[in-house]
Amino acid sequence: MDKINSINNSNNFKNMKIAIVGLGVIGGSYGLGLKKIKCSEVFGVDIDTDTIKKAKEMGIIKDGATNGKEILGDIDLIILAIYPKLVVNFIKDNIDNFKKNVIITDVTGIKMPIIKDVEILLKDLGDIDFIFGHPMAGREKKGIDFASDEVFKGANYIITPTARNKLQNIKIIEDLAYSLGFKRVNKISPEFHDEMIGYTSQLTHALAVALINSDIEGRDTGKFIGDSFRDLTRIAKINEDLWSELFLENKENLLYSIKKFEEELNKIKSSLEKNDDGQLKELFKQSTVGRERLEKN
Contact 24, 81 (CB under 8 A): yes
- Both 181 and 263 in a single domain? no
Q: What is the pLDDT of residue 11?
A: 58
Do 78 and 168 lie in one domain? The reply is: yes
The four Cα atoms 9, 10, 16, 18 give a dihedral, to 10 degrees, of 150
Domain's final residue, options 155, 188, 221: 188
Domain of residue 142, residue span: 2-188
Cα 165 to Cα 41, 63, 222, distances in angstroms = 24, 29, 50
The C-alpha atoms of residue 173 and residue 181 are separated, in whole angstroms, by: 13
- Residue ending a domain, among 152, 167, 188, is 188
Together in a domain, 107 and 201: no
What's the CA gap between 90 and 92, in Å, rounded? 5
When divided into structural domains, the chain yields a total of 2
C-alpha span between 92 and 118 (Å, rounded)? 8
Kindly state whether residues 181 and 223 are assigned to the same domain.
no
Q: What is the pTM of this model?
A: 0.90
CATH assignment at residue 97: 3.40.50.720
Last residue in a domain, options 137, 163, 188 = 188
Each residue's pLDDT, cut to its tens digit, for the chain (297 residues) gives 455 444 444 457 778 999 999 999 999 999 999 999 999 899 999 999 999 999 999 999 999 999 888 899 999 999 999 999 999 999 999 999 999 999 999 999 999 999 999 999 998 888 999 999 999 987 667 789 889 989 999 999 999 999 999 999 999 999 999 999 999 999 999 999 999 999 999 999 999 999 999 999 999 999 999 999 999 999 999 999 999 999 999 999 999 999 999 999 999 999 999 999 999 999 999 999 999 998 886
